[in-house]
């Protein structure tokens, strides 16, 4: 049976189309997907992310435990800062991509994807055993609301005295928003500036409604999973289960920069990742020349031969063309002339660098 976030009744009141996602009833859209997408690019969008998992790692050796458990160097993270990282298997396959916040010298919060956080909590618990550190899944203690888009600072600024202008990207601070105690993080999954607000579940509806009212004259729209997916695709951000899987290493996904071989000591997956051969396939962006959309699982072909697979694809509202991410063999990329097999029709595509969209500063 699917779980509901603390905002289920709010979504139903807004007429949202709900769908099952990773065992949760989540809003897919509230009306027009394109209007929600464009609101985030031009004004602001409001998202319910309460299905995400929050796992705390605490204690004198919490940083060292995370250095061993994850591929990043988390013990050097300053309190109030965050870092994108991954947890991998001994073979180097990605179990999940994560954001880790250092809330205090001995308190880290690991934010994991909804489909994976129980596994992540289990792995962290096991890997932290040799250290003076405790692992606790506190996902039920949090609701998570995100406001994203160029007007997000102006909207949130109406409701808080927190220094939003001084809050750096991938940083967080405790604050009060509309009278509710939250952690304000300058993070997101849309390619736009914005904030993620970690709140108590009982405060979620009041927080959502206050943001909605504050953003009424600044173009704020509630946004569902469909818009979130097309926004992150334009921004070239990976989705676990599509671009990232346990069969892929961070290097396969072009994200080898998150693996810190130079940190002290060992970490899970180090031997496998340090001895890896060059990836046979590369994750690239594809832009269709026609109007047909390359979708997840469609074969990438060259002269009739399958040379890759589409991992994510959608019409791009911002570019006005169908776009996709795909794993394609390095040899085929060198030769060019790629097509995507869309229901038996070989549709020509151009290979482009990721991301497809980058906001102006």
Domain with CATH 3.30.1360.120 in the chain: 3-50+142-234
**pLDDT tens figures, 277-305:** 889 999 999 999 999 999 999 999 999 99
Token pair listed for 55:
């796992």
Domain with CATH 2.40.30.110 in the chain: 280-352
Confidence of residue 214 (pLDDT cuts 50, 70, 90): very high
CA atoms within 13 A on the CB side of 101: 23
Rounded CA gap, 356 and 107, in Å?
36
Helix, strand, or coil here: 133?
coil
Rounded CA gap, 244 and 96, in Å?
8
**Right CATH for 3-50+142-234 from 3.40.50.300, 1.10.150.120, 3.30.1360.120, 3.30.413.10:** 3.30.1360.120
The pLDDT, as a whole number, for residue 353 is 94
Residue 1 has pLDDT above 90, yes or no: no
The pLDDT, as a whole number, for residue 360 is 84
Q: Which of 36, 257, 22 is nearest to 120 (CA)?
A: 22
Residue 241 has pLDDT above 80, yes or no: yes
Rounded CA gap, 155 and 218, in Å?
7
Q: Which of 211, 214, 155, 146 is nearest to 164 (CA)?
A: 155
Residue 361 has pLDDT above 80, yes or no: no
Share of the chain above pLDDT 70, in %: 100
The pLDDT, as a whole number, for residue 86 is 98
Rounded CA gap, 53 and 55, in Å?
6
The fold adopted by the segment(s) 53-140 is Alpha-Beta Plaits (3.30.70)
**pLDDT tens figures, 72-131:** 999 999 999 999 999 999 999 999 999 999 999 999 999 999 999 999 999 999 999 999
Residue 216 has pLDDT above 80, yes or no: yes
The fold adopted by the segment(s) 280-352 is Elongation Factor Tu (Ef-tu); domain 3 (2.40.30)
The pLDDT, as a whole number, for residue 167 is 98
Interval 66-75 mean pLDDT: 98
What is the phi/psi pair of residue 21, to 5°?
Answer: -135, 115
């Amino acid at each position: 049976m699917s779980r509901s976030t603390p905002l289920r009744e709010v979504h139903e009141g807004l007429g949202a189309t709900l769908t099952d996602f990773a065992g949760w009833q989540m809003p897919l859209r509230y009306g027009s997907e394109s209007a929600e997408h464009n609101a985030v690019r031009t004004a602001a969008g409001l998202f319910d992310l309460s299905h995400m998992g929050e796992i705390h790692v605490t204690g004198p050796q919490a940083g060292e435990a995370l250095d061993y458990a994850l591929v990043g160097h988390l013990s050097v993270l300053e309190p109030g800062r965050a870092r994108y990282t991954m947890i991998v298997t001994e073979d180097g396959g990605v179990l999940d991509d994560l954001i880790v916040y250092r809330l205090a010298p001995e308190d880290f919060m690991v934010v994991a994807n909804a489909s994976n956080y129980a596994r992540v909590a289990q792995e962290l618990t096991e890997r932290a055993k040799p250290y003076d550190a405790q692992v606790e899944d506190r996902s039920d203690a949090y609701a998570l609301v995100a406001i994203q888009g160029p007007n997000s600072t102006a909207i949130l600024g109406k409701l808080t005295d927190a220094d939003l202008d001084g809050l750096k990207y991938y940083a967080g601070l405790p604050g009060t928003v509309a009278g509710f105690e939250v952690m304000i993080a300058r993070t997101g999954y849309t390619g736009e500036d914005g904030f993620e607000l970690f709140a108590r579940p009982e405060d979620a509806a009041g927080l959502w409604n206050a943001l909605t009212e504050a953003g009424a004259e600044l173009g704020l729209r509630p946004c569902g999973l469909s818009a979130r997916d097309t926004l992150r695709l334009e921004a070239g951000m990976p989705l676990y289960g599509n671009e990232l899987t346990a069969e892929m290493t961070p290097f396969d996904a072009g994200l080898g920069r998150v693996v810190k071989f130079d940190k002290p000591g060992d970490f899970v997956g180090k031997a496998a990742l340090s001895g890896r051969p060059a990836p046979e396939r590369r994750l690239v962006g594809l832009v269709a020349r026609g109007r047909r959309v390359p979708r997840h699982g469609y074969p990438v072909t060259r002269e009739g031969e399958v040379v890759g697979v589409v991992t994510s694809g959608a019409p791009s509202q911002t570019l006005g063309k169908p776009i996709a991410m795909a794993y394609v063999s390095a040899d085929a990329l060198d030769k060019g002339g790629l097509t995507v097999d869309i229901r038996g029709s070989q549709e020509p595509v151009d290979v482009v660098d990721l991301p497809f969209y980058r906001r102006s500063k």
